[in-house]
């Protein structure tokens, strides 16, 4: 047996505590898969937020309370301990004086909470104190996105190296470069970092401070969630202003493809489905679709394909462009397919979709809001799942779709390019324009009416292996490489 290694996995989102997007899925599935695959060789534990209602989650209980200094003053920190729903991975939900006891995690009605730097910084400080409080001495601090990036430069200032058993190595995983945690410099004091970090090779970013940049500068190594996205962010516009910082760290920057939680997203056992099915019994998928159509008032007489969308309604996800493409198809030929759309996000895009629904009654049904069971049902019951993202670091829904025999139609960017094989397990839009989307939709429509071709593409899609099980080895290798490598420059001199 290899020497056991221990990892403290920091994330602002993890199921079942709180989810706003794919980060929550990955933060649950990757540690669970690592623990399942490597057993006692990896002791991985999750540090997350003490979000509203966490104490009422099954299995969560108050573990400890401690007082610590944060940039916002001395605070009482509660640690609630629970487990991931699958496996035995400990989850520490850290609550700095109710700062995360709010309706939402980051903001409401499209506006960020004004005290986000104060909240996330206090929480990062508390997370760094947690190992000593609970008696856990990790080898590696694995931070995710801007929300926990601050922990990396903070580490040597909060945990004095002489006190640590061995100094921790640090890894930053970037799930989306567009979100960077950028704040005005006059809030610098809230980070708790010495002002020597306020420079271009520190956290300074065009006259502001960027938490994500701080993580990129000082982490021992960096990952992002697909090989193609790694390439895209090394130049602009993909790097959202940070391509230079990433190029500087190029040698320690890896693109590791995300996987899916194969227990949570399994058509044979999915608890959210009234009818379950398998590759061998794909016929049952039609019964599931029939039920969904009936419930949603989509009672087509002639056989028609059902297109699904499950997505944040944002510019990134191509939500506006898709609505326009459907509108244009509808004007041309009165829509020869049905649509079920689930999404939430930008209020103006939500409005646009509501309007499209009113223009094509009985053909398009839109539900705005967040609904996990419905997401499963739409992905399972649709014939096609449409994902016209402008950019997509990895994307999960295309992998879920394939597992359920639902053909993904994607813009081949980032992880969508790496996971969907054009004409084999899905379709790539030739270009991300109204015309390009329409062309792709028409191809899908034609495939639907070619029973043999449709069946074989579904079979191929369902055979694609995208579970985390096969992808944990890369993380394990990276953790081990990190352990055996010397420390980088993780402080400003």
The binding site for ligand ADP (CB under 6 A) comprises 21-22, 25, 310-312, 342-344, 370-372, 375, 395-397
CB-based burial of residue 20 (10 Å sphere; 0-12 exposed, 13-18 middle, 19+ buried)? middle
Q: What is the DSSP letter of 168?
A: P
> Smallest distance from the beta carbon of 93 to ligand ADP, in angstroms?
20
Rg of the chain in Å (alpha carbons): 23
Nearer to ligand ADP, 218 or 229 (CB): 229
Do the beta carbons of residue 80 and residue 92 sit within 8 Å?
A: yes
Q: Among residues 321 and 482, whose Cβ is nearest to ligand ADP?
A: 321
- Minimum CB distance to ligand ADP, residue 389 (Å): 8
b (16+ CB within 10 A) / e for 109-148: eeeebeebbbbbbbbbbbbbbbbebbeeebbbbbbbbbbb
Give CA 131 to chain center in angstroms: 25
Query: Which of residues 49 and 319 has its CB atom nearest to ligand ADP in the complex?
Result: 319
Closest CB to ligand ADP among residues 77, 273: 273
Give the relative orientation of helices 434-448 and 319-333 as an angle to the nearest 10 degrees: 60
Nearer to ligand ADP among residue 139 and residue 383 (C-beta) = 383
Q: What is the closest distance, in whole angstroms, from the C-beta atom of residue 288 to ligand ADP in the complex?
A: 17
Least distance from C-beta 312 to ligand ADP, angstroms? 5
Alpha-carbon gap, residue 256 to 250, rounded angstroms = 14
Total residue count of the chain as it appears in this document? 493
User: Minimum Å distance from CB 366 to ligand ADP?
Assistant: 11
- Minimum gap (Å) between residue 371 Cβ and ligand ADP: 5
Smallest distance, Å, CB 372 to ligand ADP?
5
Q: Which is nearer to ligand ADP, 137 or 179 (CB)?
A: 179
Name the burial class of residue 258, with classes exposed (0-12), middle (13-18) and buried (19+) by CB atoms within 10 angstroms of its CB. buried
Give yes or no for a contact between 218 and 170, defined as CB atoms under 8 angstroms apart: yes
Q: Which is nearer to ligand ADP, 151 or 389 (CB)?
A: 389
> Is residue 426 within 8 Å of residue 420, measured between CB atoms?
yes
Q: By C-beta, is 229 or 454 nearer to ligand ADP?
A: 229
Q: How far is CA 282 from CA 42, 46, 398, 459, in A?
A: 38, 37, 18, 9
Q: Which residue is nearest to ligand ADP (CB)?
A: 22
Contacts of 449 (CB under 8 A, 6+ apart): none
């Amino acid at each position: 047996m290899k020497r056991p290694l221990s990892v403290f996995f920091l994330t602002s989102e993890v199921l079942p505590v709180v989810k706003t997007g794919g980060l929550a899925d990955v933060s649950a599935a990757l540690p669970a898969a690592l623990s399942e695959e490597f057993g006692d060789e990896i002791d991985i534990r999750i540090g997350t937020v003490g979000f509203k209602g966490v104490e009422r989650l099954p299995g969560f209980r108050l573990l400890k309370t401690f007082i610590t200094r944060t940039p916002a003053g001395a605070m009482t920190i509660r640690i609630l301990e629970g487990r991931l729903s699958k496996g035995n991975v400990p989850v520490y939900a850290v609550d700095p004086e109710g700062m995360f006891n709010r309706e939402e995690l980051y903001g409401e009605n499209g506006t960020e909470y004004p005290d986000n730097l104060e909240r996330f910084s206090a929480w990062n400080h508390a997370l760094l104190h947690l190992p000593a409080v609970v008696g856990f001495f990790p080898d590696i601090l694995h931070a995710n996105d801007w929300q926990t990036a601050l922990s990396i430069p903070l580490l040597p200032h909060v945990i004095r190296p002489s006190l640590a058993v061995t100094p921790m190595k640090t890894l930053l995983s970037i799930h989306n470069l567009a979100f960077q945690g950028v704040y005005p410099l006059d809030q610098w004091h809230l980070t708790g970092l010495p002002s020597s970090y306020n420079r271009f090779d520190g956290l300074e970013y065009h006259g502001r401070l960027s938490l994500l940049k701080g993580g990129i500068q000082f982490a021992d190594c960096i990952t992002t969630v697909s090989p193609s996205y790694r390439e895209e962010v090394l130049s602009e516009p993909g790097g959202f202003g940070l391509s230079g910082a990433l190029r500087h760290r190029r040698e320690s920057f890896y693109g590791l493809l995300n996987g899916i939680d194969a227990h949570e997203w399994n058509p044979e056992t999915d608890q959210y489905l009234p009818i379950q099915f398998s590759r061998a019994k794909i016929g049952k998928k039609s019964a599931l679709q029939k039920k969904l159509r009936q419930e949603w008032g989509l009672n087509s007489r002639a056989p028609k394909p059902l297109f699904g969308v499950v997505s944040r309604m944002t510019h990134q996800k191509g939500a506006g462009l898709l609505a326009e493409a459907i509108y244009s198809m509808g004007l041309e030929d009165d829509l020869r397919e049905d649509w079920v759309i689930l999404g939430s996000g930008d209020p103006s895009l939500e409005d646009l979709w509501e309007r499209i629904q009113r223009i094509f009654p009985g053909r398009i049904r839109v539900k705005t809001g967040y609904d996990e069971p419905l997401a499963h049902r739409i992905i399972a019951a649709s014939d096609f799942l449409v994902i016209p993202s402008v950019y997509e670091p990895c994307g999960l829904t295309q992998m879920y779709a394939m597992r359920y025999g639902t053909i993904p139609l994607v813009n081949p960017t980032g992880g969508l390019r790496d996971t969907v094989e054009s004409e084999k397990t899905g379709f790539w839009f030739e270009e991300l324009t109204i015309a390009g989307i329409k062309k792709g939709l028409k191809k899908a429509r034609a495939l639907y009416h070619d029973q043999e071709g449709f069946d074989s593409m579904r079979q191929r899609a369902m055979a694609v292996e995208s579970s985390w099980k096969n992808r944990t080895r890369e993380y394990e290798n990276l953790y081990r490489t990190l352990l055996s490598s010397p420390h980088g420059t993780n402080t400003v001199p």
